[in-house]
Chain A
Amino acid sequence: MNAATSSFTDFISQTAPELVPGKMSLPDGNHSDFSAHATTIVSMRCRGGVVMAGDRRATMGNYISSRDIEKVFPADFHSLIGIAGTAGIGLEMVRLYQTELEHYEKIEGRPLTLEGKANRLATMLRSNLGIALQGLAVVPLFAGFDLDAEDPDTSGKIFSFDVVGGVYQERDFDSIGSGSVFAKSSLKKTFRRGMEREEAVKIAVEALYDAADDDSATGGPDPIRKLYPVVMSATADGTDRVDEDEVAAIAADIVSRRTSDEA
């Protein structure tokens, strides 16, 4: 260890480079067909924080490789990360990112700022660019509660990224993955500023429902297997996963509204 660092990624790059994701060199060509792909994630601001939700489907081409994959995770105590793209690399990136944030917090005695966390994630993505261009791209969505914000009601922030490591702060909501076009169209009509968390959870589930309606790579609610989207929130009290029964009830409500004769 030569330089003193508070970054876990920097530390393993020096001591155990084989553990850094994205460092492998691949033969030329596009390799996207060999890996499972995770799709739609939505996130939006709400009163007191943010809400993030992800569907449960992973696909390999036109084949459903998983019906119960989870793609939304707490990044640390006050932030959330969701992934779309190559599932294996995305999950590894999430694990490294979680360790990265925790490591910094332990070494320094205080967590990174929310912007600092977003920039750190962008750097990790940039180091993945090589394999991203060979078809193994992964794109995260990051959202969290900003502890330094003056007004807790507008303290939720959302950051989106691209494969080259660009980081963009979103105004109100964002979505990533193949179903994101449809999810965003849905949110465009349902989102209102200053919504309570409960309402944000409802429109997040509905946005995923709309995405699943038109995008074959996004899974809809599955009452037969009792599989529903993973919905989480980040507020001043920390991150929290919305109870599965609650999500099931919301999904059932959406279905019944859309099957009623008046609709």
Chain B
Amino acid sequence: MAMQFYTSPEQIMRDRSEYARKNISRGRNVIALSCADGVLMVAENVSTALYKLYELYDRIGFAAVGKYIEFENLRTAGVRMADLRGYSYDRRDVTAVSLAKAYAQTLGAIFTEQTKPFEVELCVAGVGRRPEDDELYRLTFDGFINHEPGYLAMGGQAEQLVEVLEGNHDINAPVREAFALATRALAAGGENGTQRELNKDVLEVAMLERSKPARTFRRIQGAALEALMPEQEDESDESSESE
């Protein structure tokens, strides 16, 4: 019989964390933030068919970075859980916090029990009636839940992104300003802190619209996204006119 080598639990967990962290850090970034009009989610995504931002329920959205097939599995499970709950009880009984906890359970169990942890980081976002009531949960590959204050960033350059969001974020700002801040933060995620150019072809944008009575999730794409993108030429025209 082959010899079983002893590996300490600390070592196993460290290896798994390192493995997951390394693979997640290769992924592109996602930002979710509260603004006056709702919860805005912006992702860097070159694919036009495989999304990173999704609807879980009436007022609850989902965002993810990492391995697509793994977070897709988790997303489907989340939609099932939400719909099952809403159907068994009432639509208002489906809450962001209960979904976040369920994800934490799943991720935690996979992290400790399986040989390979999930290489994903998730966000469960709930839009409230007022910006102060919004809930943003960030879930890491090991099952930790972080309740974030008004904004969150995930992906390889999350720390750099948070630096930009920190201090500049205003929960009462209109969606246009929130979007400008989000793209500014995403652009800061270049290598060695360099600014990158981001055009609408690499952005996936969605929003949980605060004022909507039922399903609030809306993808912002095509003309609607173009309208949000800053038009540099126009801006300079306006400023020269006012001078």
A interface list, Cβ under 8 A from B: 1, 4, 8, 11-12, 15-16, 19, 95-96, 99, 102-103, 106-107, 109
Given contacts A16-B88, A96-B87, A103-B80, 12 further A-B contacts (CB under 8 A): A1-B80, A11-B84, A19-B84, A19-B88, A95-B87, A99-B83, A103-B83, A106-B54, A106-B83, A107-B79, A109-B51, A109-B54
Determine the chain B residues whose CB is within 8 A of the CB of A16 once the complex forms.
84, 88
Determine the chain A residues whose CB is within 8 A of the CB of B76 once the complex forms.
4, 107
Determine the chain A residues whose CB is within 8 A of the CB of B55 once the complex forms.
106
Complex Cα distance, B88 from A173, in Å, reads 35
Determine the chain B residues whose CB is within 8 A of the CB of A106 once the complex forms.
54-56, 79, 83
Given contacts A106-B55, A109-B51, contact A99 B87 (CB under 8 A): yes
Determine the chain B residues whose CB is within 8 A of the CB of A99 once the complex forms.
83, 86-87
B interface list, Cβ under 8 A from A: 51, 54-56, 76, 79-80, 83-84, 86-88, 215
Output the least CB separation between A7 and chain B (Å). 11
Are A102 and B88 in contact, with the CB atoms below 8 A? no
Output the least CB separation between B43 and chain A (Å). 15
9 closest cross-chain pairs (CB), A and B:
A106-B79, A99-B87, A103-B83, A99-B83, A106-B55, A8-B83, A107-B79, A11-B80, A107-B76
Output the least CB separation between B54 and chain A (Å). 7
Complex Cα distance, B80 from A11, in Å, reads 8
Are B88 and A103 in contact, with the CB atoms below 8 A? no
Determine the chain A residues whose CB is within 8 A of the CB of B86 once the complex forms.
99
Complex Cα distance, B88 from A12, in Å, reads 10
Given contacts A103-B79, A107-B76, A107-B79, contact A15 B84 (CB under 8 A): yes
B51, B79, B87, B88 — most chain A CB neighbours (10 Å): B87
Are B54 and A19 in contact, with the CB atoms below 8 A? no
Determine the chain B residues whose CB is within 8 A of the CB of A15 once the complex forms.
84
Complex Cα distance, B58 from A102, in Å, reads 10
Complex Cα distance, B80 from A106, in Å, reads 10
Determine the chain B residues whose CB is within 8 A of the CB of A19 once the complex forms.
84, 87-88
Determine the chain B residues whose CB is within 8 A of the CB of A96 once the complex forms.
87
B55, B83, B86, B215 — most chain A CB neighbours (10 Å): B83
Considering only CB atoms, which chain A residue lies closest to B88 in the complex? A19
Complex Cα distance, B81 from A1, in Å, reads 12
Our pick among A4, A12, A109 for the contact of B87 (Cβ within 8 Å) is: A12
Complex Cα distance, B87 from A95, in Å, reads 7
Determine the chain A residues whose CB is within 8 A of the CB of B80 once the complex forms.
1, 8, 11, 103
Output the least CB separation between B44 and chain A (Å). 19
Complex Cα distance, B88 from A96, in Å, reads 10
Complex Cα distance, B87 from A96, in Å, reads 7
Complex Cα distance, B87 from A111, in Å, reads 19
Are A12 and B79 in contact, with the CB atoms below 8 A? no
A4, A19, A102 — most chain B CB neighbours (10 Å): A102
Determine the chain B residues whose CB is within 8 A of the CB of A109 once the complex forms.
51, 54
